[in-house]
Structure 1
């Protein structure tokens, strides 16, 4: 998992060695937060240059649906580890009211290229909507700091759960199932 500010400092050479020593993947340890807190309304998908697998989406269209927003970038190994789970949730629950939106916010310059992103979406077999957030506008609207980052919103567009990094897949799926009213049911 990467913290954008630490990475920028490392690339710029500002206290690089000190930051690098503390720049470790934490597996979604407790204490990690974004500025978006539980109960907050879903921010708009803003500054999106390209939508893949979908026409542009907005929060008004998504009312009445459970929405999982996944911040990722295609050259992030931690994101690659979470993708099979996100794709599985989409496959299992999209016909039950789950909308998954992958917000691709690039870390490296080659990830900004729409052709490269489209190739990655195809290579990973992603069928849900992907928003290309090259300007970090949606990233900033969420106050996000991590790749990967999951934000789960209820049918009223309120944040009920977030997780940063790998892991907690059963917990995340449990939250999805609960919002969809599938607790204790096969689905």
Structure 2
């Protein structure tokens, strides 16, 4: 009887350890600053169904600019709470070299309609570029998992900061300001 109890305890302990180990490797990144040595080139926008408020954009053509990529969807309350900050950053910093691209990645089937996205962009008075990512091509390229999610790309085209969910608006804005104050080395 004791041997069975000991074996059962051992089996549960091994299973719990395996689950904990699996979760630690599967845990998503927490966001924040990326050390310069670890910053990776930003992936290109992929499989975009439609571009709103702009002609099609390529990140490779935005070198020399600071780019804010914002994953959102128009029915997400967290995205709607986050949106005024994104719109404000676009208005305040676009003339200093910030390019804001909202990547609308739908959570629900009705959000795949370009007309519905256009109506939301108009209703929400969004002036920055919006990429409609129905197939999750850009979402997957960024290995994104959240709405809203912000990625900041420096003038050299590397992802140097990310934030997931609401909040950290002051930290994000300070990072935007710091990136804009760095000299452009595009073309060199």
Mark yes or no: TM-score above 0.5.
yes
Match of 1:156 in 2: 156
Question: Structure 1 CA distance, aligned partners of 2:76 and 2:179?
Answer: 29
Unaligned runs of 5+ in 2: 1-26, 183-188
Question: Do structure 1's residue 166 and structure 2's residue 175 form an aligned pair?
Answer: no
Question: Do structure 1's residue 137 and structure 2's residue 133 form an aligned pair?
Answer: no
Write out per-residue CA displacement over residues 111-155 of structure 1, whole angstroms, 9 at most, x where no aligned residue. Answer: 000000000000111001000000000000000000000000100
Contact between 1:40 and 1:159, CA under 8 Å: does it hold in 2?
yes
Which has more radius of gyration? 2
Residue correspondence of structure 1 range 32-47 to structure 2 within 5 A: 32-33=28-29, 38=34, 39-47=39-47
Residue correspondence of structure 1 range 79-98 to structure 2 within 5 A: 79-98=79-98
Write out per-residue CA displacement over residues 14-71 of structure 1, whole angstroms, 9 at most, x where no aligned residue. Answer: xxxxxxxxxxxxxxxxx74289x93011101000010000010001210000000000
TM-score, with structure 1 as normaliser: 0.78
Contact between 1:40 and 1:158, CA under 8 Å: does it hold in 2?
yes
The answer to which structure has the higher helix fraction is 2
Contact between 1:34 and 1:144, CA under 8 Å: does it hold in 2?
no
Question: Structure 1 CA distance, aligned partners of 2:28 and 2:169?
Answer: 17
Cα distance, 1:98 vs. partner?
A: 0.1
Unaligned runs of 5+ in 1: 1-30, 183-187
RMSD: 1.7
Question: Structure 1 CA distance, aligned partners of 2:140 and 2:30?
Answer: 10
Contact between 1:32 and 1:164, CA under 8 Å: does it hold in 2?
no
TM-score, with structure 2 as normaliser: 0.77
Question: Structure 1 CA distance, aligned partners of 2:125 and 2:96?
Answer: 21
